[in-house]
Amino acid sequence: MRKLVLLSGLFCLIQAGFAQISVESREKSTDSWKSYPVEHFSDNAGYEFTPVVPNNYGSNPSHRTTATGFFRTEKIDGRWYIIDPDGYTYIHKGVACVAPGTSVKQKAAVTSRWGSNEAWSVYATNWMKAAGFTGSGAWSSVSLLRTKPEPVVYSVIINPMSTYRTMHRGVVGGYTNAGWQGYEHNIIRVFDPAFETYMENACRPLSQYKDDKYLLGYFVDNELPWVNDALDRHLKFLAPTEPGYIAAKGWLDARKGKDAGLADITQEDRNDFWDFYAGKFFSLAKTYITKYDPNHLFLGSRFNQRTEELANPYIFATAGKYCDIISINHYREWEPITSRMSNWEKWSGKPFMITEFYTKGEDTGLPNVSGAGWLVKTQRDRGLFYQNFIIKLLKSNGCVGWDWFRYQDNDPEDLSTDQSNRDANKGLIDSNYDDHHNAMEIIKATNYRVYSFLEYLQQHKGDEEKTLMPVDDSFVRMMNADHTVYGADQLLRVKNGNGNSYERTTLLRFDFTPLLEVVDRISSIELNIGLSGIYPAAKDPSTVQMNAYAVSNLPFEESEANSVILARFAQREDTYLGNVTIPVSTQSRNQVFAIDITTLKSMLKLNPVITLRLQMNVETETQFEFASRENSNTALRPLLRIQYENLNTASEALRTNSVQAFVRDSNLIITGYGANSQIRLYNMKGELVHSLPASASRQVSLPVCPSWGTVLIVSVDGKKSIKTFI
């Protein structure tokens, strides 16, 4: 059962309907469904929703700094914000492609409901504001939306490189080796002399926006092919007479002497080439944006490949020299990864925005074949995905906003669109302009909580205890022929069969990169792992010792097959960290066991990405099943508890005196109250259903009564109230 948190008011129940703790999803329709965790605001101890009435830009009126008359960025107390023209802190909560639909069906719906696109734009503006959105993203109907008396904040996208690509492709008679974005050899021709004219021509019209206070800034192209071997490709695929070849060859010759070639290229060369290659693109964009509009932000070019530019510190460093905000289209991951977001900010020295992300619901009747967003079963699941995604973004000090992709569903009958936008439930409204209500209910509640949650995070950033979740987990079965992918399981199995096919060993991978700056202050590291199931064997001892090891040379991904990981596992190098004794009894189920692994601290600066291995110390026939990070029981999921020196006394007292309530094994368990407290239970109607004095042990367990209903309010001393789900 997920951890339950304190609420200030007895009837603060808006989250009660959103208490689902996992969502089933899959990347493609041919994949099997897999359960993914979803975080709620109420999972954060002590968070209380306080409504914030935004100003006309959608900013937080409680926080003000220097006003410049236009949007800018500023890092305040360790966190990045966008600052609005009046000086207030602003988080961009946006939707891309806010435009009237172009299909026959969508046009007819506009005519039927509003009569004109102009009237639609009034409705759309009010719809965004009512849903808590503060801006429109790329490919929106800027000419319609910006003319409203108080429009939402908007951004503009220009496409000089893709326009140049189209022209160049026609001149040379087509491309024979184009990547998925349509660029030949996955190279952008930034060194072609003619390209600079295309950049200036794309930026020249921006002068019309230079005095508009509601403009956030400009995107320059989308998802360009920033491939890791760009230097090699310039020399391998381009003719010696082409400008790109000449520029790359001249750059390499200057580094290594004349007549350097492909065989002379090192990884250091590839890394340094980014400043020459990508730097040319970003510097041209910055130059001409500033020439025609010196007042607004340069929002980057929407990076998107997780194994290419999103993992490349060198292109981020280059982009950070010229971009005010780094824009990122986020796909192929269920949620943003903390360590990656930390790296994006660290590498670039700038904040970032997520400018595309979405899921597609299987309950609309749409085929959902096109598009990179993952599939979920219902609209409610889409809302829960959004809430979880946004909470993760807000916990990153570098994120200043996001744009959901997109405003309206694709219309399968509209064959004029590109193949990636043909038949999918990407939108927040359907082709008739009706809301996907079950998604929008949660999305709206999420948007309304953004500023109060940021307040909460800032107030709690001094807490001296941190938790860290694994970025990957799996287990290995000692059997070469086993090609199963165990990383998808909700369980992590451990069984010691002395190296035979029955043996299983659990692997957990943690990324300490965001904590490296304070690693010297770590006083203890504790691994918590919950035992979900146990199958005792008659001949086994009454207790066994489970050992934890650090494995320095075992990279793995959850999506890899057992046989793939096993091959690396055979070459592992273990370092013993600690152990815990586990009773071999069914009574051990649903318990969380802790292992002190503080000795890990000395290894972190050398390698902050650590794989932990769990294994029993004796040969045993008992199988132990621990909850994985995907397990539906969030209380049992593995995590690290990290304590720091110089504990904050106030926050420590708050933690030790926090009341918790949860249901386990058909019992309501209440813990953490004072010795003389009075406990009262209320149903959803506010009716008292039970009361009792607190026990001296600071814990009470009551059998769940069916007459209580599905949601119960636990009130302690008439002050602290906890909602619990039965």
Task: Supply the pLDDT for residue 464.
Answer: 62
How distant is the alpha carbon of residue 306 from its chain centre?
13
Please give the structure tokens belonging to residue 275.
């400043």
3-state secondary structure of 638: coil
Is the predicted pLDDT of residue 717 greater than 90, yes or no? no
- Degrees, nearest 5: CA angle 34-532-524: 100
What are 144's strand-pairing partners?
A: none
Is the predicted pLDDT of residue 655 greater than 80, yes or no? no
Average pLDDT over residues 58-81: 95
Q: What is the pLDDT of residues 322-346, one digit of tens each?
A: 999 999 999 988 999 877 888 899 8
Report the alpha-carbon distance of residue 656 to residue 46 in Å, rounded. 12
Average pLDDT over residues 675-680: 76
Considering the segment(s) 465-644 as one domain, its CATH architecture is Sandwich (2.60)
pTM attached to this predicted model? 0.69
Task: Supply the pLDDT for residue 2.
Answer: 31
Task: Supply the pLDDT for residue 7.
Answer: 30
Q: Do domains 465-644 and 649-725 have the same CATH topology?
A: no
Homologous superfamily assigned to 649-725: Immunoglobulins (2.60.40.10)
Report the alpha-carbon distance of residue 272 to residue 85 in Å, rounded. 37
Is the predicted pLDDT of residue 60 greater than 70, yes or no? yes
Average pLDDT over residues 359-387: 97
pLDDT: which is higher, 495 or 188: 188
Task: Supply the pLDDT for residue 74.
Answer: 96
Average pLDDT over residues 626-635: 86
Q: How confident is the model at residue 460 (pLDDT cuts 50, 70, 90)?
A: confident
Write down the domain spans for the chain.
43-158+325-461, 160-293, 465-644, 649-725
Task: Supply the pLDDT for residue 654.
Answer: 32
Angle at which helices 379-394 and 450-460 cross, to 10°: 40
Helix count and strand count (H, E) for the chain: 15, 35
Task: Supply the pLDDT for residue 43.
Answer: 79
Identify the CA nearest to 461 among candidates 525, 392, 526, 397: 397
Report the alpha-carbon distance of residue 147 to residue 165 in Å, rounded. 33
How many angstroms separate the Cα of 226 from the Cα of each of 159, 186, 244, 279, 513?
Answer: 16, 8, 15, 12, 24
**Number of C-beta neighbours around residue 688 at 10 A:** 11
For residue 251, which amino acid is it? W
Average pLDDT over residues 183-193: 97
Which of these ranges, 396-400, 524-528, 617-621, has the smallest mean pLDDT?
617-621
Report the alpha-carbon distance of residue 388 to residue 383 in Å, rounded. 9
CB 637 within 8 A of CB 631: yes
Give the position of tokens 């022929």: 481
Q: How confident is the model at residue 590 (pLDDT cuts 50, 70, 90)?
A: confident
Is the predicted pLDDT of residue 499 greater than 80, yes or no? no
Q: What is the pLDDT of residues 243-270, one digit of tens each?
A: 999 999 999 999 998 889 999 998 889 9
Report the alpha-carbon distance of residue 249 to residue 539 in Å, rounded. 71
Considering the segment(s) 43-158+325-461 as one domain, its CATH architecture is Alpha-Beta Barrel (3.20)
pLDDT, the chain, mean: 88
Task: Supply the pLDDT for residue 22.
Answer: 84
Average pLDDT over residues 520-543: 86
Task: Supply the pLDDT for residue 581.
Answer: 82
User: In 349-495, which residue ranges form alpha helices assigned H by DSSP?
Assistant: 379-394, 437-448, 450-460
- Tell me, what DSSP letter sits at residue 694? P
Angle at which helices 230-237 and 243-256 cross, to 10°: 120
Q: What is the pLDDT of residues 471-493, one digit of tens each?
A: 899 999 988 889 999 998 999 99
In three state form, how does the secondary structure of 67-134 look?
CCCCCEEEEECCEEEEECCCCEEECEEEECCCCCCCCHHHHHHHHHHCCCHHHHHHHHHHHHHHCCCC
Report the alpha-carbon distance of residue 300 to residue 82 in Å, rounded. 15
Report the alpha-carbon distance of residue 189 to residue 458 in Å, rounded. 44
Report the alpha-carbon distance of residue 190 to residue 278 in Å, rounded. 8
Q: How confident is the model at residue 87 (pLDDT cuts 50, 70, 90)?
A: very high
Average pLDDT over residues 224-237: 96
Report the alpha-carbon distance of residue 215 to residue 27 in Å, rounded. 35
| CB contact burial 126-137 (16+ within 10 A = b; e otherwise) | ebbbebbbbbbb
Report the alpha-carbon distance of residue 661 to residue 600 in Å, rounded. 33
CB 230 within 8 A of CB 185: no
Task: Supply the pLDDT for residue 124.
Answer: 98
